[in-house]
Amino acid sequence: MFTKKLGEWFEISIPSSWDGITIEDALKVKWEMPKQMLHQLRMEKGAKLNGEILPWNTSLKVNDKFQIHLFMEDEYGVQPEYNPNLQILFEDDHLLIANKPSGMDTHPNEDNQLGTLANGIAYHFQAHGLFTKVRHIHRLDRDTTGAIIFAKHKLASAILDRRLENREIKRTYVALAHGIFRQKKGMIDASIGRDRHHPTRRRISPKGQKAITKYKVIQTFPAKKMSLVELELLTGRTHQIRVHLSHIGHPLLGDTLYGGKPTVPRQALHAAKIKLLHPLTNEEIICEAPFLDEPPIFESAFF
């Protein structure tokens, strides 16, 4: 699918798979645009076909130029702050995937907070002449490293939010856990709720939110009594991997909140890979996030 940005407008050349559908079908069915956005686009005459404003029941033809008003200027929502170590793994007009280091919040948790990944993204946008809200699609704990997706406009945000909820975005983590697993792979299905006795801690609770984690042991280190594990989130609860691995008796190295020993300076958890379909073109995107720790945490396990 050929696409391009024309100022505040997004243009696509209609592919053969869209031949014969209407303008309304393209917006409602192909992109599943939320009702509020559809209404706003209709009221503002924000959809054109070959440069003309036409009724939404007009059929599209192969190679037609379909334009929608997509790239409106907006406040960043956070204060831009230069981050010399910002590592961007993927970026186009619609989304950005960044590699978060440890000791950094994904976004501000209080007014005027600086030092977060979102502050650095805002500065990056500003430096490239882009004025749009910084929209994170998911988060990582302060001391968890790895890949995080940001949307650059409302439609990409709505599509990615829905795909995340429908488990259509695959997030793969790696972790160093205490002990040697009896089973080389498995699934942890245990609901997670707040711990009434601790403000930030979570716990397994039958009345909590449903939480499912798949795991696979990549390598074991018997002398060090630890395992390198690959994990996939099927739900996205706060501290999910940390709580689940602690629950089955294998807390993360460095995760003292959930029973891990402080053998490394942080919980040994890294969002290593993200696989998704592009929100507008449906092309497959695969991003791998390199380790950022200095001195290394994960690489040192192999020596």
Instruction: Pinpoint the alpha helices (H) of the chain.
Output: 23-25, 35-43, 117-127, 154-165, 240-247
Going from the C-alpha of 211 to that of each of 168, 249, 258, the distances in angstroms are: 16, 17, 17
Instruction: Tell me the two tokens of residue 89.
Output: 């793994």
Q: Quick one: how many helices (H) and strands (E) in the chain? A: 5, 16
Out of 19, 92, 141, 143, pick the active-site residue: 141
Going from the C-alpha of 164 to that of each of 5, 33, 178, the distances in angstroms are: 25, 16, 30
Q: Are strands 284-288 and 185-189 parallel, antiparallel or unpaired?
A: unpaired
Distance CA 66, CA 52 (A): 9
Instruction: Tell me the two tokens of residue 123.
Output: 């500065």
Distance CA 3, CA 13 (A): 6
Q: Are strands 3-6 and 9-13 parallel, antiparallel or unpaired?
A: antiparallel
Q: Are strands 284-288 and 269-277 parallel, antiparallel or unpaired?
A: antiparallel
Instruction: Tell me the two tokens of residue 106.
Output: 């994904």
| 141 a catalytic residue | yes
∠ CA(250), CA(213), CA(181), 5° rounding?
A: 30
Instruction: Tell me the two tokens of residue 13.
Output: 């050349």
Active site residues: 141
